[in-house]
Amino acid sequence: MDRIFTRLSHRVAGWTGQPLAFILASSTILIWLTTGPLFGYSDTWQLVINTGTTIITFLMVFLIQNAQNRDGSAIQAKLDELIRAIDNARNDFIGIEHLTETELHRIKAVLEQDCRDDEDYHLVIERLLKRR
C-alpha cells in the first residue's frame, strides 16, 4: 500500500506541477464561469464548483505533503552522507532533525556565536555583501 501511494503521489505531484495542469484548471474555471448565465447563477451551479474544488484540494493536501516528506527525507539523507564523507565535519549533527524546535534554535545560536568570533567569517560576509 505504501509503495502504491508513493508512486501515485509522485506522479500526481509531478503532473500537477506542469503548465498543462494549470491550463486545464483555468479552463475548467472559465467554462464554469461562462455557464453561469445558462444556469441562472443558481445554488446548484455554485455547489458544483465548490464541491469539486473542495474534493481536489482535500486530496492534494495529502499528496503534496507526501511528496514534501519524501523530498525532505531524501535531502536529509544526502546531507548526512556529506557530513559523514567530510573528514573535518562534526558527525554530531547527523540526526538533529529529530530534535525539538527549541533545541534546534539553541544549536543555531551557538553556531552563529562561533562564527561571529571567527575572523574568516567576517571576511566572507564582507565579500558577499560587496557582490550586491
Beta strands in 9-110 (DSSP E): none
State CA 127 to chain mean position distance.
31
Report the pLDDT value the prediction gives residue 38, as an integer from 0 to 100.
Answer: 94
Average pLDDT over residues 86-92: 86
Task: Decide if 9 contacts 61 (C-beta within 8 A).
Answer: no
pTM greater than the 0.75 cutoff: no
The model's confidence at residue 31, banded by pLDDT at 50, 70 and 90, is very high
The model's confidence at residue 132, banded by pLDDT at 50, 70 and 90, is low
CA–CA distances in Å: residue 123 to residues 110, 118, 132: 20, 9, 15
